[in-house]
Amino acid sequence: MVVTATLVISGCKSYTSTAPLGAVAVCAELKTTATYDIIGDATGSATGGRLFGLIPIGGENKFGQIGSRFNVNPVVRAAVYNAIESVPTADTLLAPRYSIKSSNYIIYIEETVTVKGKAVRYNTSAK
């Protein structure tokens, strides 16, 4: 009984660290005239929760996306947005990585996501 009460009160913690999948196949030939400048390191984080693992609670209402990758986790999207915004002239991130710190309290999950990558600015004046 005491063990069960302790587990319910304390919850569980987990950590995940991944790199998003690329939007272009490795063997695909890229044809473009676009250029870009790597302008520095970018880091952003966001925190939010989900009730019953489905209903978002709290967090930031921001949307950042890398490539054509579709991510339904609003905390990850907000962290990507914050990372891009951490470098004022950045347009996107190159080689992004993110880590997720998750605390599970049975009916409520709180996540803190941190995204790191190289800030990129598109160079439209290059020929």
67: left (phi over 0), alpha (psi -120 to 50) or beta: left
Give the span between the Cα atoms of 34 and 123, in whole angstroms. 7
Domain of residue 19 covers 12-123
Q: What does the pLDDT read at residue 56?
A: 81
The DSSP result for 28-42, as a single string, is PPP----EEEEEEEE
63-119 per-position pLDDT tens digit: 676 665 666 678 888 899 999 999 999 988 888 898 999 999 889 999 999 999 999
Question: Is 48 part of a structural domain of the chain?
Answer: yes
Distance separating alpha carbons of residues 92 and 63, to the nearest angstrom = 12
Q: Residue 119 domain-assigned?
A: yes
Total number of domains in the chain: 1
Taking only the tens place, the pLDDT of each residue in 36-77 is 889 999 999 999 988 887 888 877 777 676 665 666 678 888
Element (H, E) at 112: strand 108-123
Residue 66, in any domain of the structure: yes
Q: Whole-angstrom Cα distance, residue 31 to residue 115?
A: 28
